[in-house]
A and B are shown apart, each in its own frame.
Chain A
Amino acid sequence: MSVVICLFAKNGFDRAGQGVAGAGRRLADELGAKLQAIIIGAADAAMIDAVKTVADGVTIAAQSELSDYQSELYLSAAAQICQSLAPKAVLLSNDTYSQEIAARLAHRLGGSAAGDVTSIALHDGNVRARRSVYGGKAEAVIELKRSPAVLWIRARAFDPAPARESVADVNQAALTLGDARTRIVERKSEAITEARLEDAQIIISGGRGLGGPEPFEDLKALAALVGAQVAASRAACDSGWCPPTWQVGQTGKKVAPQLYLAIAIHGASQHLAGMSDSKIVAAINIDKDAPIFKHCKFGIVEDYRKVVPLLKEKLAAAQA
């Protein structure tokens, strides 16, 4: 029996990968199973060395067709390798690629999947996964009835795995992958934020109450003064005021900074679902009854148009 973690070479062994490995290690220990890592794509030596010290076995699928993510090929590779490892559970991160293949992987392996998982437990030998439902208004524990349990998890919320003294063997998988049927022909990154929102320490986020795209320029200026990243609510993204990659929430980024400053954001449960793990939440909102204040450590009830220019002055003065 094994617990498999599925990693992509392109991401390196980043914080998300480490969280997946940590969750996998704890589940494997509880099951008395081995932790097997799959790396898809040509991983560099640093990644392989790091994964070798946390897993009991490593399988790399590095053939040239897998150098960049292509869903059909990555899915086929993951399914083939899993089949030879007899997993009780397969864990992936909550990036878009993992989300795209997880349910299909479960289907191919005769298992069942659950996503956006925040904790994992065993119950009578079955895997149970906790996740938020009803747009963050409720929490459910899902018992997966078929094996393997394929879970995509809020990876950064899980502690990394401790390094071990022994080092795992590394196998190269030789696979027949078949036809891609779909092909990614162009990739574009919004090179607007230099670091990932998920890794930001301070986030300044704007909502529909900003009333247009221009105020986001002021938010960017504020952010620059404190080394923060700018994010947004879905309503602001849907209005076209900022790119969809800025969206925080149930169906956006899941962030957990030290400080999340919500400006003109109402605090809908679906928005909270993406940022309620923040250490400190603060808000600027004109409405004292806005639900965001129920989740804040501090805040100000005021028109943001009056607050933001003054705040910029104060922060700039402190920096000088």
Chain B
Amino acid sequence: MNLIVCLKQILDPDIPGRDFKVDPISKEAVRGAANLVTNIFCENALETALQFKEKNGTGKITAICYAPESGEDTLRKALAMRADEGVQVLNDGLAHPDPLMVARTLAAAIRKIGTFDVVMVGRESGDWGVGQTGGLLAEELGVPYVGFVDHIETSGSGVKLKRQTDAGFEIVEASTPLVISITNDEHNVPRVPKTRDVMMSFRQSLTKWTLSDLGVSASESYYEVAELGIPVKESSCELVTGETLEERVSQLAEKILAVKRAL
């Protein structure tokens, strides 16, 4: 099976709130000293793909990253995790990639790569958290879409997917080709690449395409960011007091019971 995993590079989402600032003019986060990292759900997707390939013993995993030059780091890491090939689509420095534009670009790159069975994306990104790439990409490619998948295996001529729902999970059988979005689960925590594989990844060549190579041009806008701000929502915490732990926990219990009585 040919698997294509779409990886987004984002501002490190783990930077503490006190270091996080936004630029009200460009309406984006200020990068400051923060690193760029691969979106966690995209890494969950790559991990899911790698396990699928290992289990089946065959298959090819192509990683695509639509980003500025810095996207190369995300692809090198994907290769170090043992993706087979990396394709970088340079985004011409467009600051706010529009969700529909991203889907059209990825669709064009996927068509240029050629045949595919399963395209995997992260369920959403740790920066804008839009959560639409999978659905829009499926529509652009004219194939079905299954969201919130955490496991994939082959089944007949298609695939069998396990996906999370609000109440539990579902098993979905689907024909290929299709697009799926991946969510986190205890089994797809991304592996740490081996040192040897990290070194090897730098010897591998990446395919690089520009938007004009793909025949994609900026189209009408899907949406625009009208405002971006940081909400202030802090409250002052009253720590329970008391000489002994026993007294403090009594107070804690009393406060909890007060809420319960007021229900």
Q: Is the interface of A mostly helix, strand, loop or mixed?
A: mixed
A95-B225 contact, Cβ under 8 Å, with A181-B175, A238-B189, A296-B235? no
Residues on the A chain within 8 Å of B259, using CB: 202, 258-259, 280
Are A190 and B131 in contact, with the CB atoms below 8 A?
A: no
Across the interface, B172 reaches (CB within 8 A) one of A182, A251, A302, namely A182
Contacts of B227-242 to chain A: CB distance below 8 A: 227-231, 233-235, 237-240
Residues of B within 8 A of A240 (CB): 186
Q: Which one of A107, A134, A188, A294 contacts B127 once the chains associate, using CB atoms below 8 Å? A: A134
Cα A314 to Cα B245 with chains together (Å) = 12
Q: Give the shortest distance, in Å, between B221 (CB) and chain A (any CB).
A: 5
B71 at the interface (CB under 8 A from A): no
Chain A residue nearest in CB terms to B253: A314
CB-contact partner of A187 in B123, B150, B168, B235, under 8 A: B168
- Chain B residue with the shortest CB-CB distance to A261: B256
Among B131-174, those with CB < 8 Å from A are 131-132, 134-136, 138-140, 143-148, 150, 164-174
Assuming the A-B contacts A189-B168, A294-B234, are A99 and B131 also in contact, with contact meaning beta carbons closer than 8 angstroms in the complex? Answer: yes
If the complex has contacts A71-B144, A297-B235, A299-B239, are A107 and B136 also in contact, measured as CB distance less than 8 A? yes
Interface size counted on chain B using CB atoms at 8 A: 85
Q: Does B32 contact A (CB under 8 A)?
A: no
B18 to chain A, nearest CB (A): 9
Contacts of A96 in B (CB 8 A): 147-148, 164-166
The smallest beta-carbon distance between A291 and chain B, in angstroms, is: 7
Contact yes or no, A101 B135, CB < 8 A: yes
Smallest Cβ-Cβ distance to A123: which chain B residue: B226
A182 near B249 (CB under 8 angstroms)? no
Q: Which of B41, B129, B233, B255 has the most CB of A within 10 A?
A: B129
> Is B178 engaged at the interface, CB distance under 8 Å to the other chain?
yes
- In the complex, 5 of the A-B residue pairs with CB atoms within 8 angstroms, ordered by the A residue number, are A112-B100, A226-B260, A281-B235, A283-B237, A318-B257
Q: A270-B13, A295-B237 given; name 16 further pairs at CB < 8 Å.
A: A114-B223, A134-B11, A135-B127, A138-B29, A143-B226, A181-B143, A202-B259, A238-B186, A238-B189, A244-B150, A259-B260, A294-B237, A302-B248, A310-B246, A311-B256, A315-B257
The 5 closest A-B pairs by CB, nearest first: A103-B135, A240-B186, A314-B253, A103-B132, A182-B174
